[in-house]
Structure 1
Amino acid sequence: MTASYIEAARKQKAGEATAEGSEKKKNRKETRARQGQETMTKAQQAPINKEEKKSRENRTIEGARAHVARLTAKRKAERERILEQEYGGAEARL
């Protein structure tokens, strides 16, 4: 083991490592903020795929309403399809 690993292990045992590590993290955040490169939160990042986008939309009231409308339309179409199979054409829509 190199001297730096031994020194880090010694600091960790003494409880000095955590304070030093959090100080470094704080300094990095401040530097990014000054440079205008603050890290984005998960909600601010671009959607990865369709399902991820839908789950983010559902976090808003309008998105939740749209989600419920999609589910309702899906259930209605499924119900009509089943009735059509069981009873045939015109009776299914009554």
Structure 2
Amino acid sequence: MRAAAGLSPALVPTTRPAESMALLTSAVVGGQALSLAVSGRLAEAYGPSDAFGVATGAAVLILGIALATRAMSRPPGAATPAVAAPAGSGRRASADRRP
């Protein structure tokens, strides 16, 4: 949840942060409700190991989708843009930092 909320400002127009957070939290609640219903029935019918297997399979599927989407969103060889610090914060942009 925290990671998705952190990505929200980068993906949503600055004029709609409340709407994006509302959709995000609704999706999390809906996903949890669906997964609890399915895993509960699986645990009753086949035992807890099968229910945990479905949860593990879902996590692997989501990881694959995330990695595939990330690879498709940037052209090959594209550099990651530097993120500037807010004005007056006393910090330099991340690309300017030297070890």
* TM-score class, shorter: 0.3 to 0.5
TM-score (norm 2): 0.32
| More helix, by proportion | 1
TM-score (norm 1): 0.33
Query: Which protein, 1 or 2, shows the higher relative CO under an 8 Å CA cutoff with sep ≥ 6?
Result: 2
